[in-house]
């Protein structure tokens, strides 16, 4: 049995020990690669994982992965065995982890910081990929593969009108629909490299704004366990990050209005079957989406239930009553904002990337 003090000392050494260069393998789940090796920049590759395992799992053992190893070593000068999709255990059991690829990157700093940086790059990269190449219907968004297996089947909650003291029940039960999702088809190398070009230009504010807004949008999207209040906070944060002219500026609202008009987003959304309303109504709602920060602790009521008329309204902005269409309105606002921010980012990324992440070109889009 290991000494807990040795474990603590080892963990401390990982965080505070000497820095250096590290080769970090970050597995991805839910992604299909057409090519075995794709170079993302001079220190990063995307590597298709093995379909099977030789029984040694992720214990660092070297395997003969064929020509792709030679290609990885040519690019990076080193390699770590790519995670396999099928993971076998010593007792004979096995699981399909869904890990179909890995990002192999050179990171700097302490070991713990290098691992965190590699995970962050992977998450930011995924958020950009799905904006520039949306996954499409019934395809899951990729995720990190450090916890496996990842869910791919969604089973809806069941519900029915409440009946008091009625037996047998007369009302029909709804819900319980089962939806299965398949892996994301990775776009071509040009799209896959886009976030890594932004990483290389991170001294430019426009690169940071595009990366930050893309990541916030991904967190705001309907997900496995996300609540409405969380989604609303994140999508508003995406707007703030994308549109503020400089740190601490209070001009994001005005710049967002200009961006919406420049790209004709309200008219485009009005023509979208998933978003109800005419262009004028959509434009108004794009600029008046709820700011949950103004509610403070009362923002949790959006998830947990509106106050009754007897309870009265808490201080601050009014919160809708259960019989009011407040929840429906918030969800509609969220849908509109998600579409709008996704559309804006989909337009901005190619423009700014083509300019070499020129801040002046970026700022001209907001006037």
**Residue that has been written with the tokens 């979208």 in this structure:** 272
- 307 pLDDT higher than 60: no
- 220 pLDDT higher than 60: yes
Q: Backbone dihedral region of 116: left (phi > 0), alpha (psi from -120 to 50 degrees) or beta?
A: alpha
**What pLDDT, on a 0 to 100 scale, did the predictor assign at position 62?**
41
- 211 pLDDT higher than 60: yes
Confidence of residue 223 (pLDDT cuts 50, 70, 90): confident
**CB-facing half-sphere around the CA of 225: CA atoms within 13 A:** 1
Q: Report the alpha-carbon distance of residue 292 to residue 322 in Å, rounded.
A: 18
For the ranges 63-72, 224-233, 303-312, the maximum mean pLDDT occurs at: 224-233
Cβ atoms of 190 and 41 within 8 Å: the answer is no
**What pLDDT, on a 0 to 100 scale, did the predictor assign at position 83?**
86
- Which among 255, 252, 239 has a CA at the least distance from the CA of 339? 239
**What pLDDT, on a 0 to 100 scale, did the predictor assign at position 60?**
40
Q: Report the alpha-carbon distance of residue 105 to residue 302 in Å, rounded.
A: 41
* Mean pLDDT score, 6-30: 72
For the ranges 96-100, 228-232, 277-281, 306-310, the maximum mean pLDDT occurs at: 96-100
* Residue 47 bridge partners (DSSP): 37, 102
Residue 105: φ, ψ to 5°: -135, 155
Average model confidence (pLDDT) across the chain: 84
H-helix or E-strand containing 47?
strand 44-48
Q: Report yes or no on whether pTM surpasses 0.95.
A: no
Q: Report the alpha-carbon distance of residue 314 to residue 324 in Å, rounded.
A: 16
Other residues' Cβ atoms within 10 Å of the Cβ of residue 195: 28
**What pLDDT, on a 0 to 100 scale, did the predictor assign at position 130?**
97
**Triad 216, 218, 224: Cα angle to 5°:** 125
């Amino acid at each position: 049995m290991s000494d807990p003090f040795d474990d603590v000392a080892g963990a401390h050494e990982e965080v505070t020990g000497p820095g250096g260069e590290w080769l970090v393998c970050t597995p991805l789940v839910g992604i299909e690669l057409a090519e075995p090796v794709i170079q993302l920049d001079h220190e990063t590759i995307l590597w298709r994982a093995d379909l099977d395992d030789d029984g040694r799992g992720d214990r660092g053992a070297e395997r003969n992965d064929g020509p792709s190893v030679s290609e990885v070593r040519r690019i990076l000068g080193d390699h770590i065995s790519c995670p396999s999709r099928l993971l076998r255990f010593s007792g004979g059991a096995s699981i399909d982890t869904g890990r179909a690829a890995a990002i192999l990157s050179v990171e700097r700093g302490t070991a713990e910081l290098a691992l965190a940086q590699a995970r962050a790059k992977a998450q930011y990269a995924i958020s950009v990929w799905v904006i520039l190449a949306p996954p499409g219907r019934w395809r899951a968004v990729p995720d990190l593969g450090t916890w496996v297996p990842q869910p791919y089947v969604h089973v809806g909650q069941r519900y029915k009108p409440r009946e008091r003291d009625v037996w047998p029940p007369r009302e029909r039960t709804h819900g319980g629909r089962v939806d299965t999702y398949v892996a994301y088809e990775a776009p071509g190398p040009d799209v896959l490299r886009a976030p890594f070009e932004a990483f290389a230009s991170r001294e430019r504010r426009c690169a940071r704004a595009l990366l930050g807004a893309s990541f916030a949008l991904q967190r705001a999207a309907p997900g496995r366990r996300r609540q409405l209040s969380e989604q609303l906070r994140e999508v508003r944060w995406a707007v703030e990050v994308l549109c503020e002219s400089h740190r601490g500026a209070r001009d994001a609202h005005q710049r967002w209005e200009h961006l919406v008009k420049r790209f004709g987003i309200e008219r485009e959304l009005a023509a979208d079957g998933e978003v109800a309303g005419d262009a004028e109504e959509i434009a108004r709602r794009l600029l008046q989406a709820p700011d949950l920060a103004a509610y403070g602790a009362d923002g949790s009521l959006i998830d947990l239930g509106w106050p009754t008329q007897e309870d009265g309204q808490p201080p601050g902005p009014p919160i809708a009553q259960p019989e009011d269409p407040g929840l429906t309105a918030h969800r509609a606002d969220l849908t509109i904002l998600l579409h709008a921010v996704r559309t804006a980012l989909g337009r901005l990324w190619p423009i700014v990337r083509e300019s070499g992440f020129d801040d002046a070109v970026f700022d001209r889009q907001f006037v």
